[in-house]
Amino acid sequence: MNRVSTISAAAALLALGLGAGYLAGRQAAPPTAAAAQAVQAAPSSQAAAARTDPKTGRPVLYWHDPMVPGQRFDKPGRSPFMDMDLVPVFADEAGDAAGAVRIDPRLQQNLGVRLAKVVEARLDMRLRATGAVAYDENAVAVVSARASGYIDRLYVRALLDPVRAGAPLAELLAADWVAAQEEYLALAQAGAAAADLRAAARQRLTVLGMPEAAIRRIEASGRAEPRVLLASPISGVVGEIGAREGMTAMQGAVLFRINGLDKVWVNAQVPESQAGQLAPGVAVSASVPAFPGQRYAGRVIALLPQVAEATRSLVARVELDNPGWRLKPGMYASLELGTAQSRPVLQVPSEAVLHRGRQSLVLLALGEGRFKPVPVTPGSESDGMTEIRAGLAAGQEVVSSAQFLIDSEASLKAAVGRMDEAPAGDAQ
């Protein structure tokens, strides 16, 4: 009985092994065409079901995180980059204009998307510049010795001392002036017969440099004045002193230099790219930190014909009124230069313009949450607004914030579209 049982068990195992081999052979055999189609159809149906938005039923191309638009996902879920759900990109959006993208209104709010209208208005062309206050070189007076003599007395002894027009500067003792005065007085008593000689003698006093006021004093008094008073011809400060009491002053020597302060200059650094907007006569408004809230009016009087290589800027020479002499040379001044344009121009906020090397573009709002990059030709820029010379029309709306995220998504979509179209073009 034991031997018979053993043989039966072995036979059963053999039959089981044959059956398993037969089944394995059936599975390893190549499938028929119908079977292959069935196998391929099943995954396609599953993929189609997986690529459908459960909320709207719309077909989905892929899911992505708007903050990282370059990364795609085949199914919905949480973003591995941000604490938010992945956003679907629907297949029916592919029919939008080339490069356009659609952004859900809720996502627009989360991204902080703001729109700005393209307006046609006068562009305020005021330029802002800085510079240092300097003396007005057109308001400089030099007092020199018209004749050799001695400095008998000084009334001004220190640099930058303020003086008024007509104020005494020094007394000069000149022997040549004394002789010429005595000759003139003697001829004055000779009567009408010496009228020509008297006129020549008076002219000599003028040539020697005697002030007209001093000549009239000796005519009134009839006495020669050995000392001649030198007075300041203008109001200002003493910029140079070349005289000291007791020294000999040679004819032609500069004794004083007076710098006027009724007007001052500001040498403003203007970028080379904005220099074309300036011209002599343009109005200027200036302020200095020493007197906050106070403005000083002036104008551009010259654009110096030289550009600094290091800063690519040129100097605009500005003349400012200086009431009370409050503006001092060396002070730091902030300037607003220029006026509004004479004709209206299309303009958008400067932050709405994206620059890609030589190309500039804006994101045009097409409505219904769609946006499209549009190339534009920008012009002048001032006070946060940029002139648009081509590419837009008045009344259109552009994105003025978060445009970098939308632009990257639009660029990615356009690139993928070109990649998808490439095989089809090769097949044709």
For the chain, which residues make up each domain, given as ranges? 2-30, 38-95, 105-123+343-427, 127-136+261-337, 146-252
Q: Helix/strand/coil (H, E, C) string of 294-316?
A: CCEEEEEEEEEEEEECCCCEEEE
Phi/psi of residue 102, nearest 5 degrees: -115, 130
pLDDT in the model for residue 99:
59
Q: Which residues, other chains included, contact 265 with Cβ-Cβ below 8 Å and sequence gap of 6+? A: 133, 134, 135, 136, 137, 301, 317, 318, 319, 320
Which fold is adopted by the domain 105-123+343-427?
A: 2.40.420
Instruction: Please give the single-letter amino acid code of residue 147.
Output: A
Q: How far is CA 81 from CA 68, 73, 86, 409, in A?
A: 8, 12, 10, 16
Q: How confident is the model at residue 324 (pLDDT cuts 50, 70, 90)?
A: very high
The strand pairing partners of 372, in sequence order, are: 364
d(CA 101, CA 94): 9
pLDDT at 426 over 50: no
> Which of 242, 80, 225, 50 is closest to 145 using CA atoms?
242
- Domain covering 127-136+261-337: architecture: Beta Barrel (2.40)
Tokens 């302060």 belong to 261
pLDDT in the model for residue 404:
65
Task: For residues 320-335, give the mean pLDDT.
Answer: 94
Q: How confident is the model at residue 403 (pLDDT cuts 50, 70, 90)?
A: low
290: which DSSP letter?
T
pLDDT in the model for residue 341:
57
Which fold is adopted by the domain 146-252?
A: OB fold (Dihydrolipoamide Acetyltransferase, E2P) (2.40.50)
pLDDT in the model for residue 138:
93
Instruction: Please give the single-letter amino acid code of residue 239.
Output: G
Stronger pLDDT, 367 or 167, i.e. the higher one: 167
32: which DSSP letter?
P
d(CA 314, CA 317): 10
> Which of 348, 400, 349 is closest to 371 using CA atoms?
400
